[in-house]
């Protein structure tokens, strides 16, 4: 608070004549904002902070991410092995002091592999979400901003693309392109951006007739400036929510592709491919599936809950 | 109305055409042909093979022929299963998948709507909270994790249900449970929120005020209006269950089309991959089309606005 603000919190007993002063007739002074203004972001953050479920989810996500990177290092220091070092005398062993999550069929440590897999899954999820964001925002922004014919044609195109079941397209692409980390991410984004583009389009369409846009336009702002300086920043809430919710979708899709043998290929492992590898002996060596399955479920759960919380925080209108 | 249906139908055909074309040209883009990897074959036999499979003709001609064949329901011949028609393989394996899928859809709708209704009627009470926790779990936990867990607990440890195979009613329980976990969660959430909205609507108050019994209100007004959004979800749900069944069939050893698909991909049996992809495509787009149409019939409000548009 600045120095000349009125002490609103004081009780009548504390009031002295000094607390009162003439504001005068100067309108400018009368309209000075007396209290610190809360920005939309702080407001949203406060709402988010009071949402216990969402904050728990955020903490879980942070923990998972940190462990994904620190976990393998710990094993390296303590036991001296990495994700591909194998111990063929100790294959398919249950959790123990040296192998916290047990070992797999090649005697590789499951603790290290689970967290390495988490890294890969998170990478796939985030990379796919970022590309979706990039394409979706531009495509959706153009659709929403220009409207009319442009919108009609671009929208029809995205609708047709969307109506083709995306997993089929992804599978086809990967059959042709041979799966690697890059092609998987590419295949996941081939139709993944459409949802984002529709969200952006809807937001822009609502915003573009507002007064502040008119004001900026009347001062000679061009399309690019209007779109990137005024319209998109105002649509950032729903965009963030969509990104948050599209990360678990990509992680799930990658896991699904692993079941078809089209996920990341050995020696790299993702959570999905580890679960798939564990499937054959799962009834005998449950820990090989259990730990990656727990991590992937927790990750997706946390992303979903956090995304819902974010939506409530950023867009209170939607809250029921 | 007719125009709306025609429009949707045309739209579906365009999407299908694109899927088929994409499938064809992507497969053509793979270097080599089915016979390059085989051991050395005399040129005469090679030519004979090319001729038999139509590979000696220009790509465009092959494409037109492929389109024509598909219209007649002919997906070509499998490359790995000697002399097996792709359409025959699909036909043989489809029945198991169809049974599983239909049961799953019915179960998902009934359980999902019931759960959502209970949650809405007992809003903010124990049942509501339990149902919503289940719903969040159902949406977040991948179906293959659910499937493996169910298999481990109920089949392997407790021996209540069969682990694998598809021979009788008991064999349905676990796969259907795994397959429907996510749709049930989704439907429950949809039903709950729309029912909550309906329960506070004015026409419910009117119904109460004119002295209708609670049961009559529930069945005549609340449910009919409350399950409307569920209808829109039927299309995506079919897609969810069809793709989900690919994994579930593998886990539970069900000889359906999904298992065939996984096999085809692992041995790179291209005609079979193409055939099943297109078959799935047709199935899912039909489901979408039916959903779009059904929604107009179920919800008269949509009919009005759409009618004005078209």
A147-193 pLDDT per residue, tens? 889 988 998 888 888 877 777 888 888 888 878 888 889 888 888 89
A57-70: pLDDT as tens digits: 999 999 999 988 88
A16: alpha, beta or left, given left = phi > 0 and alpha = psi -120 to 50?
beta
What is the pTM for the complete model shown? 0.79
CA–CA dist A276, A292 (Å, integer) = 10
A129: pLDDT strictly greater than 90: yes
Query: How many structural domains compose chain A?
Result: 1
Minimum CA–CA partner of A278 in chain B: B148
Q: How far is CA B37 from CA B40, B48, B71, B83, in A?
A: 9, 16, 31, 18
Backbone dihedral region of B84: left (phi > 0), alpha (psi from -120 to 50 degrees) or beta? beta
Q: What distance in Å separates the CA atoms of residue B275 and residue B75, rounded to the nearest whole number?
A: 5
Asked whether residue A249 is assigned to any structural domain, the reply reads yes
Q: Which residues of B touch A249 (CB under 8 A)?
A: none
Q: How confident is the model at residue B39 (pLDDT cuts 50, 70, 90)?
A: low
Q: Identify whether A221 is part of a domain.
A: yes
SS3 A267: coil
CA distance A252 to chain B (A): 7
User: What was the pLDDT predicted at A51?
Assistant: 83
Q: Which of A238, A250, A243 shows the shortest CA–CA distance to A312?
A: A238
Q: Quick one: which of A251, A259, A267 has its CA closest to A301?
A: A251
d(CA B287, CA B237): 9
Query: Tell me: domain B86-303, CATH 2.40.110.10, correct?
Result: no
pLDDT at B308: 39
Q: What is the pLDDT of residues B94-119, one digit of tens each?
A: 888 888 999 999 999 999 999 998 89
Does the residue A126 lie in any domain?
yes
Mean pLDDT throughout B236-240?
Answer: 85
- Residues whose CB is less than 8 angstroms from the CB of residue B282 and which lie 6 or more positions away in sequence, other chains included: B16
Which region holds residue A97: left if phi is over 0, alpha if psi is between -120 and 50, else beta? alpha
CATH number, residue A67 = 1.10.3720.10
- Quickly state the pLDDT bin for A29 (edges 50, 70, 90): low
Any domain includes A140: yes
Q: What is residue B184's predicted lDDT score, i.e. its pLDDT?
A: 92
pLDDT of residue A209: 85
Predicted local confidence at residue B294, as pLDDT: 81
Q: Which residues of A touch B14 (CB under 8 A)?
A: 160
Residue of chain A whose Cα is closest to the Cα of B278: A168
Cα-based distances in Å from B83 to A39, A240, B39, B89: 70, 53, 19, 11
Q: Is the dihedral of CA A163, A179, A245, A301 positive or negative?
A: positive
| Domain definitions of chain B by residue range | 1-72, 86-303
Q: Which two tokens stand for residue B71?
A: 């219209």
Report the distance separating Cα B85 and Cα B93, nearest Å.
12
A306 within domain boundaries: yes
B246 and A259: CB-CB below 8 Å? Answer: yes
Q: Print the domain residue range for A141.
A: 40-79+111-318
Token reading at B261? 């698909």
CB interface of B with A, residues 246-275, below 8 Å: 246-247, 250-251, 261-262, 265-266, 268, 270, 273
How far does B153 lie from chain A, in Å, by closest CA?
10
pLDDT tens digits for B242-268?
888 888 888 888 888 888 888 888 877
The helix-helix angle for B86-121 and B126-140 (nearest 10°) equals 150
pLDDT score of A232 more than 90:
no
Put simply, whether B163 touches A (Cβ < 8 Å) is yes
Q: Tell me, yes or no, if B62 comes closer than 8 A to chain A by beta carbon.
A: no
Total residues found in chain A within this entry: 320
Q: What average pLDDT does the segment B220-248 reach?
A: 84
The 3 state secondary structure assigned to chain B is CHHHHHHHHHHHHHHHHHHHHHHHHHHHHCCCCCCCCCCCCCHHHHHHHHHHHCCCCCHHHHHHHHHHHHHCCCCCECCCCCCCEHHHHHHHHHHHHHHHHHHHHHHHHHHHHHHHHHHHHCCCCHHHHHHHHHHHHHHHCCHHHHHHHHHHHHHHHCCCCCCCCCCCHHHHHHHHHHHHHHHHHHHHHHHHHHHHHHHCCHHHHHHHHCCCCHHHHHHHHHHHHHCHHHHHHHHHHHHHHHHHHHHHHHHHCCCCHHHHHHHHHHCCCHHHHHHHHHHHHHHHHHHHHHHHHHHHHHCHHHHHHHHHHC
Residue B24, pLDDT score:
85
Which carries the bigger pLDDT value, residue A298 or residue A278? A298
Handedness of CA B196, B200, B205, B208 (dihedral sign): positive
Q: Quick one: pLDDT at residue B32?
A: 63
Q: What is the pLDDT of residue B301?
A: 66
Asked if residue B35 has pLDDT above 70, the reply is: no
In a domain, residue A143? The reply is: yes
Q: What is the pLDDT of residue A131?
A: 94
Of all residues in chain B, the percent with pLDDT exceeding 70 is: 92
Would you tell me how many other CB atoms lie within 10 Å of the CB of residue B54?
13
Weakest-pLDDT range from A32-36, B37-41, B51-55 = B37-41
Q: Which of B240, B202, B235, B242 lies closest to B221, judged by CA?
A: B202
How much of chain B, in percent, has pLDDT values that exceed 90? Answer: 6
Q: What is the C-alpha to C-alpha distance for residues B132 and A75, in angstroms, rounded to an integer?
A: 38
Asked if residues A192 and A128 have their Cβ atoms less than 8 Å apart, the reply is yes
The whole-number pLDDT of residue A27 equals 64
**What pLDDT is stored for residue B111 in this prediction?**
93
Burial class, A234, CB count within 10 angstroms (exposed 0-12 / middle 13-18 / buried 19+): middle
Banded model confidence at residue B307, pLDDT cuts 50, 70, 90: very low
Closest chain A C-alpha to B209 CA, distance in angstroms: 26
ipTM of the complex model: 0.77
């Amino acid at each position: 608070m600045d120095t000349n603000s009125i002490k609103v919190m004081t009780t009548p007993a504390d009031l002295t004549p000094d607390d009162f002063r003439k504001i005068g007739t100067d309108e400018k002074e009368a309209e000075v904002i007396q209290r610190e203004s809360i920005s939309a972001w702080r407001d949203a953050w406060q709402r988010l902070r009071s949402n216990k479920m969402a904050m728990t989810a955020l903490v879980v996500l942070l923990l998972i991410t940190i462990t994904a990177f620190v976990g393998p290092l710990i094993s390296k220091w303590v036991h001296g092995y990495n994700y591909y070092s194998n111990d063929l005398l100790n294959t398919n062993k249950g959790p123990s002091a040296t192998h916290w999550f047990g070992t797999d069929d090649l005697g590789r440590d499951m603790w290290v592999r689970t967290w390495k897999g988490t890294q890969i899954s998170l990478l796939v999820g985030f990379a796919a979400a970022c590309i979706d964001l990039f394409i979706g925002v531009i495509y959706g922004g153009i659709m929403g901003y220009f409207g009319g014919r442009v919108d009609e044609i671009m929208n029809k195109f995205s609708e047709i693309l969307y109506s083709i079941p995306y997993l089929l397209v992804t599978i086809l692409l990967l059959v042709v392109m041979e799966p690697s980390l890059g092609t998987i991410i590419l295949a996941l984004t081939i139709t993944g951006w459409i949802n984002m583009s529709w969200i952006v389009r809807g937001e822009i369409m609502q915003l573009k007739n507002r007064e502040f846009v008119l004001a900026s336009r009347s001062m000679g702002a061009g399309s690019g400036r209007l779109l990137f300086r005024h319209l998109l920043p105002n649509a950032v809430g729903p965009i963030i929510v969509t990104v948050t919710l599209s990360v678990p979708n990509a992680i799930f899709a990658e896991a699904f592709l692993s079941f078809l043998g089209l996920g990341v290929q050995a020696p790299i492992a993702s959570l999905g491919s580890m679960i798939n590898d564990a499937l054959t002996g799962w009834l005998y060596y449950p820990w090989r599936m259990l730990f990656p399955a727990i991590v992937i479920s927790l990750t997706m759960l946390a992303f979903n809950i956090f995304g819902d919380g974010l939506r409530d925080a950023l867009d209170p209108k939607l809250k029921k | 109305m007719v125009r709306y249906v025609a429009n949707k139908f045309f739209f579906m055909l365009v999407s299908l055409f694109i899927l088929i074309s994409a499938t064809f040209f992507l497969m053509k883009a793979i270097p080599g042909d089915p016979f390059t990897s085989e051991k050395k074959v005399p040129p005469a036999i090679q030519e004979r093979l090319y001729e038999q499979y139509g590979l000696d003709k220009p790509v465009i001609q092959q494409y037109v022929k492929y389109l024509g064949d598909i219209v007649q329901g002919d997906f070509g011949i499998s490359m790995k299963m000697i002399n097996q028609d792709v359409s025959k393989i699909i036909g043989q394996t489809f029945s198991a998948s169809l049974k599983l899928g239909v049961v799953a859809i019915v179960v998902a709708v009934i359980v999902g709507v019931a759960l959502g209704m209970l949650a809405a009627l007992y809003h903010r009470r124990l049942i509501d909270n339990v149902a919503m926790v289940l719903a969040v779990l159902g949406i977040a936990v991948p179906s293959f994790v659910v499937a493996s867990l169910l298999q481990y607990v109920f089949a392997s440890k407790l021996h209540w249900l069969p682990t694998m195979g598809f021979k009788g009613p008991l064999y349905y329980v676990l796969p259907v449970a795994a397959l429907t976990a996510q749709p049930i969660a989704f439907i429950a959430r949809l039903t709950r929120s729309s029912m909550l909205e309906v329960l506070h609507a004015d026409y419910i108050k009117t119904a109460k005020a004119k002295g209708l019994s609670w049961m009559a209100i529930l069945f005549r007004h609340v449910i009919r209006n409350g399950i409307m959004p569920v209808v829109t979800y039927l299309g995506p749900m079919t897609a969810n269950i069809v793709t989900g069944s690919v994994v579930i069939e593998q886990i539970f050893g069900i000889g359906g089309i999904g298992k065939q698909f996984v096999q085809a991909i692992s041995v790179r049996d291209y005609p079979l991959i193409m055939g099943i992809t297109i078959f799935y495509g047709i199935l899912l787009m039909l489901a979408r089309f039916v959903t779009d149409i059904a929604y107009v019939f179920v919800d008269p409000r949509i009919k009005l606005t759409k009618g004005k548009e078209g």
